[in-house]
Amino acid sequence: MQADFARAPVARAGGDSTRCQKGRTVDIRGIVLVGGAPAGLESFACTPLALHDVLGRPVVHRVMERLAAYGVTDTVVVSQAAMPPLARAARDFRSATKFLHVPEGQLWRAAETVFAEHAQAGAEEVLLLRLGGYAEFAVEEFLQHHLDARARVTRAALPGGGDLDIMLIAASRRNDAAFLFRHELRASRIPCQRWLLRGYWNPLETAADLRALALDALMQRIALSPAGEQIRPGIWAAAGSRIDRGARVLAPAFIGERARVRASAVITRGSVLEHHAEVAAGTVVENSTVLPYSSIGAFLDVAHSVVGARRLVHLPRNLEMEIADPRLIDTFSPHAPLRMLSAAASLAALLPAQMLRRFFAPSHREAPAELPAAARAPSAALTPSGFQASEEASSFPANVMIARRYGDQ
């Protein structure tokens, strides 16, 4: 699932190039590939995990930030998948990057073209990463090893064994680069140099890896930080997030941009609500991630899960379920006018039914009880109203998601 070696150093402020330990300044440029992964690597909701948000920003944006901080310039993202709808802060970052969306089957040809453009623009070295995984490492050390060995191609590897799709390629070696791309990084013209990555590595192959990355960031084990303000120790909230009065958020937790936690809901134990997510009244979210534009219904318990696109992945059971009932899990439109139209339609459908019920429903008034009986009766304030648990609630495994039978439980 995850290899966590010595904590990677916090990125320094970068310049227009990377300076090696021996004082030489090298023009190094970047290529980040999304897609073209071998069979078996997973996505969630038909979107590669590298494009999903982690604490307010997509993983690919986090990688771009770290490369820029280390002085890797003109990085181009080449992706077979389109970027999902982004939060405002991520859209601002996206507009300042070079993101190339290519058709299916054209990833490697596009990467070869971008490499040639970097070489023509004067690059000396090209840093290539394929996502997949998220890594934090010292680019300067990687570059120094590559230059000391006078290598054409140097590939990063894990200390425990296993090559990574993180490479440094001499820009003058276009034939070597072309061979790599045409063989999808699985073979090279000559044996590659190896450099052991002593930092942080998360393969991002499953939803469990996505959760692990969010937890490592919330616990400040890595350099990745939440894209929001720390409103209380261990609790971050992004711009426009709403936490209703009576809701509880326990550290560590992250509430994303335009996300909402309704009254009596509880967000606890490393839970993450990404942008435009919503948790309804009375629901408890424990050690889980709610992806953008997703909502969880009222009076539910959701634990150790990833929720989004009307799907729930329960991590301890390694079980993925599609939830058809929108009262349990629902998805919003990423377009604000459509969300407003949907809300207006729901209100228009609700008001006539409420008016008819008010005028034509039989009266439930009861004769006043005698004073001793009234004193012994439970208070109406302690009796939940307006919610009735489904008889199907008991069919859910207790540690996946359940509907509460009583609102005060």
Q: What are the start-end ranges of the E strands in 12-145?
A: 18-19, 25-26, 28-34, 43-44, 47-48, 53-54, 57-58, 73-79, 98-101, 125-131, 134-136
State phi, psi for 257 to the nearest 5 degrees: -60, 130
The pTM is what? 0.78
How far is C-alpha 31 from the chain's CA centre? Answer: 21
Residue 279 inside a domain? The answer is: yes
Q: Are 50 and 140 contained in the same domain?
A: yes
173 with 274, same domain: the answer is: no
Predicted confidence at residue 332, as pLDDT, reads: 84
Residue 90 has what pLDDT? 75
Q: Are residues 180 and 280 in the same domain?
A: no
Sites in the chain below the pLDDT cut of 50: 1-16, 21, 39-41, 335, 338-339, 343, 347, 374-375, 379-396, 405-409
Quick check: is 343 in a domain?
no
Residue 114 lies in a domain: yes
CA-CA-CA-CA torsion sign (134, 139, 145, 148): positive
Residue after which a domain boundary falls, among 314, 331, 348: 331
CATH number of the domain that 322 lies in?
Answer: 2.160.10.10
Residue 216 included in any domain = no
Give the up-direction half-sphere exposure of residue 139: CA atoms within 13 A in the CB hemisphere: 30
d(C-alpha 38, C-alpha 88), whole Å = 33
Whether residue 252 is contained in a domain is answered as yes
What contacts 273, CB < 8 A, 6 or more positions away? 241, 254, 255, 256, 259, 261, 267, 279, 285, 290
Please, which contacts does 266-275 make with residues 24 or more away whose CB atoms are closer than 8 Å?
A: 270/214, 270/215, 270/218, 270/219, 272/54, 272/55, 272/214, 272/218, 273/241, 274/53, 274/56, 274/87, 275/53, 275/56, 275/86, 275/87, 275/238
Give the span between the Cα atoms of 110 and 138, in whole angstroms.
Answer: 27
CATH of the domain at 70: 3.90.550.10
Ramachandran class of 364: left when φ > 0, alpha when ψ lies in -120 to 50, beta otherwise: alpha
Do 299 and 182 lie in one domain? The reply is no
**377 lies in some domain:** no
- Among the three residues 298, 331, 364, which one is the final residue of a domain in this structure? 331
Does 391 map to a domain? no
Q: Which residues contact 223 (CB under 8 A, 6 or more apart)?
A: 8, 9, 10, 11, 66, 136
Are 38 and 111 part of one and the same domain? yes
- Cβ contacts of 195 within 8 Å, gap of 6 or more: 141, 142, 145, 146, 154, 155, 156, 157
Query: Are residues 31 and 146 located together in one domain of the fold?
Result: yes
At residue 363, the pLDDT reads 58
Q: What is the pLDDT of residue 391?
A: 46
Domain housing 102: 3-202
183 in the same domain as 296: no
Task: Of 200, 262, 207, 278, give the one whose Cα is nearest residue 52.
Answer: 207
Regarding whether 136 and 70 lie in a shared domain, the answer is yes
DSSP annotation of 356 reads: H
Residues 275 and 153 in one domain: no
My answer on whether 281 and 179 are in the same domain is: no
Question: How much is the pLDDT for 9?
Answer: 34
Which amino acid type is present at position 155? Answer: R
Task: State residue 358's pLDDT score.
Answer: 63
d(CA 190, CA 306): 43
Q: To 10 degrees, what angle do helices 59-69 and 88-95 make?
A: 50
Q: Does residue 353 come out as left (phi exceeding 0), alpha (psi in the -120 to 50 range) or beta?
A: alpha
User: Residue 356's pLDDT is what?
Assistant: 60
Residue 19 and residue 142 in one domain: yes
Q: How many structural domains is the chain composed of?
A: 2
Domain boundary among 291, 306, 331: 331
Within a domain: 368: no
| Residue 332 near residue 258 (C-beta atoms within 8 A) | no
The verdict on 45 and 88 lying in the same domain is yes
